[in-house]
């Protein structure tokens, strides 16, 4: 029977039918020909063109099977990625979207006989998240580039934390050495020379002096008094004593009167007071210089710690402060009066400034500007959400309402036990 003339209703109807999607079982993948009914498909199978394609397939079936399988997989994932993204969706729904294309690669020409086998393959190869429920198989596309970006971000964060720990350990070692030096210097200051004290201050000291007058030659000769016996021990002290004796002897020589000379006991007391004054002045000077040295060391260490705090504050201070697991309060009425000033837990972060809250068994997608931090009772655990110790857990010690600040004790990292004062917006309650 010939074809219908062009422009007739029957010819137009046949042309419309050929454009639409026909039954998949009457499609020949090797010839890429779609038949309209069972009779037409049988006639195609017996045609010479189809027989030549079968001979080519018989020569190398694995190559054709692999090629069709790769085309089907790539096109299926392309539809899943472009239409549904990473959203969890039914596998059959994705397949229905895929077969809308009239010239798509059919599944019966691949190595997978059913859609279930293909979904299981995607799950095992790590290209999709798959799970089976009562409603059937569900799949979700895995964005490999996003996973790589997350891994790189985790590696960077780990490297930064490692550097911080090493620097914190170095500062702790420097502080320990400074404390040891300060302890040593305090021990040395305790062992400084002290004044000699006699047991009985009321006992009289007597000297036996000859009545022989000294000549001019003996007066000018260096003095060898009883104090000279300790010359090897107190060399500088005896020099000062000898000089003082000569001053008194010169004075007696001027007056030329032995009776006006100081007695030996008076001379000894004068020499002792003079030497004690010199010793006290030197001791006070050494103690003062030692205190100044310790003060300068302590100031240098404080400057290093402050510089490190400023560096960490500058690096960790960001515009976003949302973290998973913290409790926040909704401060907007755009979600209704039921959720106004309600508290919820951050269940998931959509991005740096948007999160999904769990409020009264309801999930809300809120922005950071619509929530605020929550301050718990004293003694409860909090999370530092911004600043130098961002991401560190701490225990609330006190609340300073006039300064709008909280006093925290760090409970993690190398700085554990340190006391901090932070504003309300830099710390938040953690879900217990």
pLDDT in tens, 291-309: 665 566 556 666 777 777 7
| pLDDT of residue 323 exceeding 70 | yes
Q: How confident is the model at residue 230 (pLDDT cuts 50, 70, 90)?
A: very low
Last residue of a domain, one of 288, 314, 340: 314
| pLDDT of residue 261 exceeding 50 | no
| pLDDT of residue 151 exceeding 90 | no
pLDDT over 70 percentage in the chain: 69
| pLDDT of residue 328 exceeding 90 | yes
Q: How confident is the model at residue 161 (pLDDT cuts 50, 70, 90)?
A: confident
Last residue of a domain, one of 117, 143, 169: 143
Measured CA to CA, the distance from residue 40 to residue 37 in angstroms comes to: 5
DSSP state of 260: G
Last residue of a domain, one of 143, 177, 194: 143
Edge to edge, the sheet with strand 343-351 lists: 362-367, 354-359, 343-351, 327-330, 371-373
pLDDT of residue 253: 47
Q: How confident is the model at residue 76 (pLDDT cuts 50, 70, 90)?
A: very high
Residues 336-361 have a mean pLDDT of 88
pLDDT of residue 56: 84
| pLDDT of residue 20 exceeding 60 | no
pLDDT of residue 204: 62
Task: Residue 418: give the domain boundaries.
Answer: 319-429
- For residue 299, give both structure tokens: 């100031």
Measured CA to CA, the distance from residue 254 to residue 235 in angstroms comes to: 29
| pLDDT of residue 409 exceeding 80 | yes
| pLDDT of residue 201 exceeding 80 | no
Residues 292 and 400 in one domain: no
| pLDDT of residue 260 exceeding 50 | no
Residue 106 near residue 27, CB atoms below 8 Å? yes
Is residue 66 classed as helix, strand or coil in its secondary structure?
helix
Residues 119-134 have a mean pLDDT of 90
Measured CA to CA, the distance from residue 93 to residue 55 in angstroms comes to: 36
Residues 243 and 292 in one domain: yes
Is residue 129 classed as helix, strand or coil in its secondary structure?
strand
Domain annotation covers residue 390? yes
CB-based contacts of 208, cutoff 8 Å, min separation 6: none
Residues 286 and 328 in one domain: no
pLDDT of residue 280: 54
Phi, psi torsion values for 376, nearest 5 degrees: -85, -170
Choose among 176, 85, 179, 74: nearest CA to 122. Answer: 74
Residues 301 and 388 in one domain: no
pLDDT over 90 percentage in the chain: 17
Residues 395-407 have a mean pLDDT of 91
pLDDT of residue 152: 78
Residues 293 and 343 in one domain: no
Residues 122 and 15 in one domain: yes
Measured CA to CA, the distance from residue 409 to residue 419 in angstroms comes to: 5
| pLDDT of residue 285 exceeding 70 | no
CATH of the domain at 71: 1.10.10.2030
Q: At what angle do helices 48-59 and 61-79 cross, to 10 degrees?
A: 100
Half-sphere exposure of 290 (CA within 13 A, CB side): 17
**Please, what's the largest Cα pairwise distance for the chain?**
171
| pLDDT of residue 192 exceeding 80 | no
Mean pLDDT of the chain: 76
pLDDT of residue 48: 86
Residues 310 and 325 in one domain: no
Domain annotation covers residue 167? no
Phi, psi torsion values for 374, nearest 5 degrees: -120, 135
Measured CA angle at 104 (ends 101, 106), to 5 deg: 130
CATH of the domain at 418: 2.30.30.30
Distances (CA, A) of 46 to 26, 29, 34, 52, 78: 14, 15, 15, 11, 35
Measured CA to CA, the distance from residue 80 to residue 83 in angstroms comes to: 6
Measured CA to CA, the distance from residue 87 to residue 83 in angstroms comes to: 9
377 alpha-carbon distance from chain centroid: 26
| pLDDT of residue 282 exceeding 70 | no
Residues 286 and 369 in one domain: no
Domain annotation covers residue 366? yes
Residues 24-41 have a mean pLDDT of 77
Domain annotation covers residue 61? yes
Domain annotation covers residue 166? no
Residues 93 and 77 in one domain: yes
Q: Is 128 exposed, middle or buried (0-12, 13-18, 19+ CB in 10 A)?
A: buried
Q: How confident is the model at residue 399 (pLDDT cuts 50, 70, 90)?
A: very high
pLDDT of residue 298: 59
Domain annotation covers residue 174? no
Residues 139 and 13 in one domain: yes
Measured CA to CA, the distance from residue 412 to residue 392 in angstroms comes to: 6
Beta partners for 346? Answer: 357
Choose among 432, 379, 381, 373: nearest CA to 405. Answer: 373
Domain annotation covers residue 181? no
| pLDDT of residue 367 exceeding 50 | yes
pLDDT of residue 428: 93
Q: Which residue has the higher pLDDT, 351 or 230?
A: 351
Residues 21 and 136 in one domain: yes
Q: What's the domain count of the chain?
A: 3
Domain annotation covers residue 388? yes
pLDDT of residue 388: 84
Q: Is 25 exposed, middle or buried (0-12, 13-18, 19+ CB in 10 A)?
A: exposed
Beta partners for 55? Answer: none
Residues 132 and 33 in one domain: yes
């Amino acid at each position: 029977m010939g074809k219908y003339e062009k422009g007739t209703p029957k010819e137009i109807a046949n042309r419309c039918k050929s454009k639409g999607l026909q039954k998949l079982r009457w499609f020949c993948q090797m010839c890429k020909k779609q038949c309209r009914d069972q009779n037409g498909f049988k006639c195609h199978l017996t045609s010479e063109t189809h027989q030549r394609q079968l001979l080519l397939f018989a020569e190398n079936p694995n190559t054709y099977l692999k090629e069709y399988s790769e085309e089907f997989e790539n096109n299926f994932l392309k539809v899943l990625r472009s239409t549904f993204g990473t959203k969890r969706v039914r596998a059959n729904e994705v397949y229905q979207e895929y077969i809308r294309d009239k010239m798509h690669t059919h599944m019966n020409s691949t190595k997978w006989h059913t859609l279930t086998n293909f979904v299981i393959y995607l799950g095992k190869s790590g290209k999709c998240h798959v799970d089976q429920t009562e409603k059937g198989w569900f799949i979700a596309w895995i964005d490999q580039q996003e996973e790589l970006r997350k891994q790189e971000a985790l590696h960077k964060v780990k490297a930064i934390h490692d550097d911080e720990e090493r620097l914190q350990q170095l500062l702790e070692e420097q502080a320990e050495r400074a404390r040891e030096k300060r302890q040593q210097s305090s021990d040395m200051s305790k062992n400084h020379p002290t004044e000699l004290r006699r047991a009985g201050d009321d006992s009289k000291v007597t000297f036996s002096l000859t009545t022989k007058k000294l000549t001019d030659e003996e007066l000018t000769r260096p003095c060898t008094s009883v104090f000279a016996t300790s010359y090897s021990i107190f060399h500088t002290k005896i020099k000062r004593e000898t000089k003082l004796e000569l001053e008194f002897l010169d004075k007696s020589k001027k007056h030329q009167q032995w009776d006006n000379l100081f007695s030996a006991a008076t001379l000894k007391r004068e020499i002792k007071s003079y030497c004690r004054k010199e010793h006290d002045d030197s001791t006070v000077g050494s103690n003062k210089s030692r205190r100044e040295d310790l003060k300068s060391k302590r100031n240098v260490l404080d400057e290093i710690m402050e510089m490190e705090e400023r560096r960490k504050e500058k690096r960790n201070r960001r515009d976003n402060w949302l973290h998973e697991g913290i409790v926040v309060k909704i401060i907007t009425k755009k979600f209704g009066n039921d959720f106004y000033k309600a508290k919820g837990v951050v269940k998931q972060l959509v991005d740096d400034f948007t999160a999904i809250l769990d409020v009264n068994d309801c999930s809300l997608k809120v922005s950071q500007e619509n929530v605020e931090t929550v301050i718990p009772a004293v003694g409860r655990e909090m999370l530092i959400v911004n600043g130098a110790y961002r991401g560190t857990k701490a225990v609330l010690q006190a609340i300073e309402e006039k300064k709008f600040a909280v006093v925290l004790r760090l409970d993690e990292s190398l700085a554990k036990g340190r006391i901090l004062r932070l504003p309300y917006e830099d710390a938040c309650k953690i879900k217990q």
